[in-house]
Chain A
């Protein structure tokens, strides 16, 4: 049984790859959306922080002997703490200025971080092993499913939904959304808005680092791994619009799948398909699929 002359194994394999890419798009665009909602800043450093997460996992293993599971907890905390420091010392001074300055500052930080890592580790990747518990795979009859890839899709889906729940369904999330609408009023109710902003940025950064740890065994740990991804994630964000958390998640996974399908049917366009979709969405619905017109 073939689909348009494509054997089902190849099709499903590419769909799985697309789903994994989509998981990373979703996690990263979710972090960008959360940060943008609160800080009104597009965090260009997001890709570098994702890369830092992967490197943190590598350092933990090679210098402290702490494996994958520890890295999954410690790397986001560590990189998130760096994010908190960045917010406290730099981003804080930009809130009253044009949004573009935030983009420029975080772009500069991304260059600094990438340059430092490239200096130290060159541009070739460092290997990171799949943890013993997740090696091997399942034979589903119609295709072979590596355990680690299934794990990545499931855990990223869980993290995305947990973030959605946190922001849309809890009291803390309500404060957060209220502070996005009117920070002065929320502060007048006795809620420490500046601290909430700091923690939001830290959380968004931690999410990027978490994605980086998940990515380490799939892609190699590479100083350049974030810089190319971040531009695609920007396109994802433009397509989805940053108004909705669920929108970011759906757009991320959806575009990953579309990219996977393109790899099967028209491989030449696989690197550009997301950008083409972005252009089309902008022409038809400028606010993005889930965006609110400002």
Chain B
């Protein structure tokens, strides 16, 4: 936790006022009211409409003295009305000198929480905000493909707009914006304006935002998907920029789990100011991403005490000064020696520490310690009060709710699934996690824990899990075995023809990602076939296949193969259309004349023939081609003439020619 001194302003109207929106109150020094007016005006994101959620946005500006500031605003409905009886919006705005931010690595969410906690804004002095530390692990947990794509696209200097996330709470949107910003060097935050909601009919200056519809300009549009998947396809501009954005996104994809946390921590250290308008700053961001991450600093060894003391006495003196890792090392040491008096005191202190909460880096070190510990407990010792009180405190120390699979995977090892007469510390942690209330673990984490606790627990967990939670787990799990279990269970439920499950699978891109994670080659195709087969229902119909292929974004080759193998009779045109139109989309041809021509041609090809035999079909095709050829030739001649003489002249020519021919005919007949 750190504190920052923030200048503040309130923008809105006074009760029953006939005046326009304005800054109605603010701190006095060093920023003037006109500074606040200018900055709030510049970064407005649109009129706040009825039934809209609170809007949170960030902004930046340079003061008269050349000092850079970063601002955060929270806009919500007022309780009062203006002179015309209309409810108006009130914006609370705080801004902090940029030079104070990097030192504390303040995240947007932390600044918002601090403003929220602060309550009213007193005048005219600045407000002191207590801001939580930069939580790299929390931010890493919020990173999705869309966040990666957004971060990469921001480097083009263009605006990025996320659509289709109207249903999300504004705090979730703020976390997303924070996560995307965290994937760039921290120095970019000096010039990054984001907003949890913008109106695209407003000419705003927000670089990264959510909206109902993307503005009709060069803004990049990213579609929000429940599984967080996204991919950058079409990047306008030079080939160099395009390849650069793709590389940035691809490099980010290489970081998962702990590696992502480390990366975010590393990028947070890159505090020198950068600008999205400077290509060299954006280029250097990529090189930065490709640098090997610095090795974690070696753990400081406990300083030798001047006079050696008895262990129990020594701990009493030094416990309060110890880091959580040192304290945990001591506890494990006491267990090893079975030093019961010392153990009692240490566990007590550990519990206090766990209840108070520890910083993320310490938590990570403690997880590492548990992971590498060789300590084992005989089963007869499991009921001892020391152990009974130690393990819950340890779990409390190692994890924060809701526990994610990534967190657990940092502690447990694959061999922990094997049961022996003695249990190791990791297995004890796992058993304790299984006892936690449902809301303390993410769905995927529950499955993972159940898998480590034994087959029985897993079966009972699966039978209780709702369809949506199961799907969430399949996408979140980063371990092969439980993912496979989740996917198998989903397919089993699909075959029970539960329409709810079929809908959920459809919305989640037909399990493409989890299946890609657990299987390859023929096995993967087998999985896809099962999913398609189950979703097609009985009897399978071409329309069903069409629906499936339409819902899948970017149909992978092996999914195409599975679709061919499961295709019902007379669905060749459906398959062809889906595959070709998918290619059209991938190549960015959708809506272009070529794309429209391809679509038209496919529609014509899909026109059903009247029960043709194979030879009839071939003949029909030839006839079609010949029939097509005639008007095509005529058109060509007509186009050439039109090009030469113009449309009207051609019309007149035909008219004159017709009259002349009539005259000739009449003369001849006479």
Tell whether A and B belong to one assembly.
no
Chain A residues within CB distance 8 Å of chain B: none
